[in-house]
Structure 1
Amino acid sequence: MRIGELSEKSGVSRDTIRFYERNGLISSAEGKSTTNNYREYPEDCLVLLNFFTGAREAGMSVADLRSIVEALAGSCDHDVARSVMRKKISELKARSKQIDEAIVFLEKAITQ
């Protein structure tokens, strides 16, 4: 499907779709027509865009998304996907702990 149709079906803007593509999160192929430069996006981009939208709304970074996509590259195995996401959850929890510690440190610094 072309970018306009993908945008309409997913609710994600064309600019955001292009941003994700530039960052290696989704891919497209050259269209079949030799008279234009239209790109064709596979149907599975809809699933990815839905996942990305939820993840971004939850505060995940593009770098976080890229690490998940790279870890899942070439695998449609649900167990692999779960394992990758569990690892990302552990990383986020560790980052959250560091942020909490930084906040406590800064709050103490303010009161001194």
Structure 2
Amino acid sequence: MRIGELAKRSGFTRDAIRLYERSGLIKADTREADNNYKSYPEGAVFALEIIRDAQAAGMSIHDLSKFMRQLEAQDTDDFDGDAFLADKIVEIEDRIQASKRFLATLQQTRVALAAAPYCDDQVFER
């Protein structure tokens, strides 16, 4: 599929797809002989879904690049995949806990605001 279709199916912009390609996170299969357009494999949609989830969880492009190379079994020298994944699991679990705490704060604030509605002419002093 061409980049326009990949963008449409993945929800990423063409510029983002090109950035991820330059970073080695996705690869084009071939260039079409008649017009030199790049063609992306079906797996690029799945790779972009992984990238979206990983970035939403706070993973950097650099770490994503290491992770994706491991998934493709390209980076086996001088890389402790188990330690890398263990560290990322702890990091993501910490983010999840922080997100849950903040979600609870938001929910409590919403309840408090509903119980004591704001009045435009009310002045709050400390």
The percentage of aligned residue pairs carrying the same residue is 38
| TM alignment of 1:1-112, pairs within 5 A | 1-34=1-34, 36-74=35-73, 87-92=83-88, 93=90
| TM-score (norm: length of structure 1) | 0.66
Over 6 Å off, 4+ runs:
none
Indicate conservation of the 8 Å contact 2:30/2:40, yes or no. Answer: no
Structure showing greater Rg: 2
| TM-score (norm: length of structure 2) | 0.59
Q: Which residue of 1 aligns with 2:107?
A: none
Give 1 or 2: higher helix fraction. 1
| Matched length | 86
Larger relative contact order (C-alpha < 8 A, sep ≥ 6)? 1
Q: Give the unaligned 5+ runs of structure 1.
A: 76-83, 98-112
Q: Give the unaligned 5+ runs of structure 2.
A: 75-80, 95-126
- Deviation by residue 1:38-95 (Cα, 9 ceiling, x = unmatched): 10000000001011011111110011111111112159xxxxxxxx5x644422337x
Indicate conservation of the 8 Å contact 2:31/2:38, yes or no. Answer: yes
Q: Please give the root-mean-square deviation of Cα atoms over the aligned residues, in Å.
A: 2.4
Match for 1:54: what amino acid?
A: D
